[in-house]
Structure 1
Amino acid sequence: MNIAESERMRAMLKGEDVVVVNSCAVTAEAVRQTRQAIRRARAAHPAARLIVTGCAAEIEREAIGAMAEVDGIIANAAKLDPRSWNIPLQDAPIMPARTRAFIAVQNGCDHACTFCIIPQGRGASRSLTVTQVLHEVAEHIAAGAREVVLTGVDLTSWGHDLPDAPRLGALVRAILDACPALPRLRLSSVDGVEIDAQLFDLIAHEPRVMPHLHLSLQHGADLILKRMKRRHLRRDAVELVGRLKGLRPEIAIGADLIAGFPTESDAHHADNVSIIRELAIVHGHIFPYSPRPGTPATRMPQIPRAVVKERAAELRAAVAETRGAWLASLIGQTFTVLAERDGTGYAPNYARFGLPPGTLPGEVVMITAKRLEEGLLA
């Protein structure tokens, strides 16, 4: 989501003497890193106008605005509007900084997870129309993008605010039908309980939809999921992944997991570790629980920070073990790999490959995995 927004702002502000910090507030660590980024940006660009936007600037506006390095703050809801930057009101040119195009089709969130501060910074859920999305996808394809990644704060809620409330599956189908030249379409994090029937069918059967599902899972214990006010239980995730793998065995599963949520017992933590193995999570994003001001979870009994960090490390180790075994199982198989700009590339299942010398960014190459070196197939 932040990648998509940052690239659009970069295109919109091309030629302007301004440095923009697009901040995050999902954890206290993210806010700390925002402050560091502001100080580094000012040191690197002492004469430029320095503007901060994003969730941290929205939620901690007074504190961020008081920093001596900051010249101004742009509201999160207004940051993609050229008028907020005093530049001409026109369509921003597409400037793909990557070989994959990240398109934010949805923003905001209507849910109230007890740990999450993002609705305070992003507001209510709102969706781009199908026409708007197709226009942006077509621009990125014309600019050379070989893969489109659909992103959003709550991606699977796309369409709820549009006439007739279309579901995300209808948007994906419309993109595939309107853009036959697009070889790869990938979804960012999704809420498993909101995967509609058409979307499920596309993930399970459509070759141009990448075999890679990243779930906003958050935990493996039902009681903790209820205290988080999540809308799924463990069995829902297990059933979803089982059905998909039965139809598309090569699909790779990713997930977000929180370690050390308030009231988490040793047994709850064990459930969190075990779901990594049960779902074969190979792309894991592990977050140590971080109390965010004003969220209900801050009023629950807290876990000592040392224990939170220890549990996060155990989750990361479990993901690393599962991922290592999965990568090793891919040796001997041949994949189409989309080259990035750093000498690596991604297979459809999001396995990362080291590329042969001379491979150009944006090139799709066939590579047979022969070995595994420092987490990269080659």
Structure 2
Amino acid sequence: MSGAELISLGCRLNIAESERMRRMLSGEDNLIVVNSCAVTAEAVRQTRQAIRRARRARPDARLLVTGCAADIEREELAAMPEVDGLIANAAKLDPRAWNVPGEAAPLAPSRTRAFIAVQNGCDHACTFCVIPQGRGKSRSLTIAQVLGEVEQHLGEGAAEVVITGVDVTSWGHDLPDQPRLGSLARAILGAFPQLARLRMSSLDGIEIDEELFELFAGEERLMPHLHLSLQHGHDLILKRMKRRHLRADAIDLVTRLKLRRPEIAVGADLIAGFPTETEEHHQANLSIIEQLDIVHGHIFPYSPRPGTPAARIPQVAREVIKRRAAELREAVNRARSRWLQSLVGKPLSVLAERDGTGYAPQFARVLVPAGVSAGKCITVTPQVIEEGLLV
């Protein structure tokens, strides 16, 4: 094999960082790196599972763990017999931490979409969230640094750029003159007219600035796919989470955007069973799915994370959390099925992936004809839906 084997769990930021580590470790053939996640107890369980699976598959390789769980669950992961060592999350992109040269040979991109981490860390204190413990304070790349990364990926054949980070809409707060995310998006689109598709990862809706709103509303090259870090549909729970938005803020944002660009597909992160959540609160969570027409739903059953305020307030029973999470998933699945059906018979511009499928601008997954090269954009008119795939 060529270079280290990277196993990435969790968010798109981890994917972006894994790609950079893959380049950096291109000469390390007998190395496995697990880039871990700790956002929930389930994420930590999956990290442990990935470690054990990797060790069984390659018993003689050196296995190192980095990512958020390597900081937040450090003692527990270090005690696993499968693990040879841990690399601190803050050091994982530093060649010195791996004892490798600073300049790695370029590699062919492993994805048709380039994930670019424009920001890391978080300055907020949501009561359920452990991620600031593993990522630190918010810090941003400059526009020049981002444009340099975009240029590199486009030169290597990437057909779509995905902007990602821990708290993407806080990008620029720590830079001179405090630019907003909309100015970064406009700079990317202006500098690279050949870039056909720019996509945003999860955004905090209350921090979407006017320039970014206008780009979402009217710029065809910014994909019509808005994923909100929503978390809940009831104001009291949002306040107990220490979120900065209310239900009405999310409704207003989506309503205004859809008036301008009706094809926008909405996604959202939602937590089931947050401490003190009653059945009334849960019903509000369910109803926000219908009201916003959430078709890309990430449902997280609440789990207490170490050192967070929410872990110290009255908890909801695990069986109740499990039931409510299932009901939220069912509601998203119903909305998603209606949405996919509305795309049947319509020509869609699809970016082909390596697995024989591809993604439309709204992030609907589509089967592409045999023989289409990965990274090529083609027009597909789906006729049916098969297991969530437009065919």
Letter of the aligned partner of 1:284 in structure 2?
G
* TM-score normalised according to structure 2 size: 0.95
Aligned position for 1:110: 123
Alpha-carbon separation, structure 2, partners of 1:61 and 1:274: 39
Q: What CA RMSD, in Å, does the superposition of the two structures yield over aligned residues? A: 1.0
The match for 2:261 among 238, 243, 248 is 248
The answer for the alignment partner of 1:179 in structure 2 is 192
* Among candidates 288, 293, 303, match of residue 275 of structure 1: 288
Contact kept in structure 2, 1:273 and 1:315, CA below 8 Å:
yes
Structure 1 partner of 2:389:
376
Give the equivalent residue in structure 2 for 1:287: 300
Cα gap change, 1:222/1:94 in structure 2, threshold over 3 Å: closer, same or farther? farther
- 1:89 and 2:102 are equivalent in the alignment: yes
Does 2:16 match 1:4? yes
SS in 2 for 1:321: helix
Offset of residue 115 of structure 1? 0.3
**Residues 1:274 and 1:92: Cα distance change in structure 2 (over 3 Å):** farther
Question: Is residue 2:149 matched to residue 1:136?
Answer: yes
CA shift at 1:369, angstroms? 2.0
Deviation at 1:90, TM superposition (A): 2.2
Q: How far is the alpha carbon of 1:70 from its aligned partner?
A: 1.3
Q: In the alignment, residue 376 of structure 1 is paired with which amino acid? A: L
Q: 1:18: Cα distance to partner?
A: 1.3
Q: CA deviation at 1:61?
A: 1.0
Indicate conservation of the 8 Å contact 1:129/1:162, yes or no: yes
| Cα distance in 1, alignment partners of residues 382 and 52 from structure 2 | 42
SS of the residue corresponding to residue 366 of structure 1 reads: strand
d(CA) in 2 for partners of 1:230, 1:106: 20
Q: Secondary structure at the match of 1:164?
A: coil
Report deviation, 1:95: 3.8
Distance 1:92 1:203, change over 3 A: farther
Question: What pairs up with 1:166-245 in 2 under 5 angstroms?
Answer: 166-245=179-258
Q: Distance in 2 between matches of 1:4 and 1:344?
A: 21
* 3-state secondary structure, aligned to 1:318: helix
Matches within 5 A, 1:300-319: 300-319=313-332
Q: Distance in 2 between matches of 1:293 and 1:108?
A: 18
Greater shift after overlay, 205-214 or 47-56?
Answer: 47-56
Q: Deviations over 1:175-224 (max 9, x none)?
A: 01111111000000000000011111111110100000000000000000
Q: Is the 8 A contact 1:94 1:140 kept in 2?
A: no
Partner of 2:160: 147
1:278-308 CA distance string (max 9 Å, x none):
0000000000001101100011111100000
Structure 2 Cα separation of the partners of residues 352 and 44 of structure 1: 30
Map 1:317-356 onto structure 2 (within 5 A).
317-356=330-369
User: What is the match of residue 67 of structure 1?
Assistant: 80
Measure how far apart 1:358 and its partner are: 1.4
Take 1:36 and 1:317, find their aligned partners in 2: how far apart are those partners?
27
Q: How many residues align?
A: 378
Conserved? CA contact 2:112–2:160, under 8 Å: yes
Match for residue 59 of structure 2 among 26, 29, 46: 46
Task: Give the match's secondary structure for 1:148.
Answer: strand
The 8 Å contact of residues 94 and 139 in structure 1, kept in 2 or not, is answered as: no
Superposed displacement of residue 91, structure 1: 5.8
CA distance in 2, matches of 1:326, 1:15: 45
Deviations 1:335-369 (A, max 9, x none): 10000111111000111101111121111110112
Question: Is the 1:220–1:275 Cα contact (8 Å) retained in structure 2?
Answer: yes
SS in 2 for 1:145: coil
2:271 to 243, 258, 277: 258
Rounded to whole Å, the distance in 2 between the matches of 1:364 and 1:65 is: 44
Helix, strand or coil: the match of 1:103? strand
Task: Between 312-321 and 43-52, report the one with greater CA deviation.
Answer: 43-52
Partner Cα separation in structure 2 for residue 286 and residue 35 of structure 1: 21
For residues 235 and 273 of structure 2, the distance between their equivalents in structure 1, rounded to whole angstroms, comes to 14
Tell me the distance in 1 between the aligned counterparts of 2:112 and 2:276. 43
The corresponding residue for 1:123 is 136
- Consecutive aligned runs of 4 or more in structure 1 exceeding 3 Å deviation: none
Q: In the aligned structure 2, how far is the partner of 1:328 from the partner of 1:196?
A: 32
CA distance in 2, matches of 1:23, 1:214: 22
Q: What is the alpha-carbon distance in structure 1 between the residues aligned to residue 220 and residue 164 of structure 2? A: 20
Q: Helix, strand or coil: the match of 2:118? A: strand
Amino acid at match of 1:280: D
Q: How does 1:2-41 map to 2 (within 5 A)?
A: 2-16=14-28, 17-41=30-54
- In structure 2, how many angstroms separate the alpha carbons of the residues matched to 1:121 and 1:44? 28
SS of corresponding position for 2:344:
coil
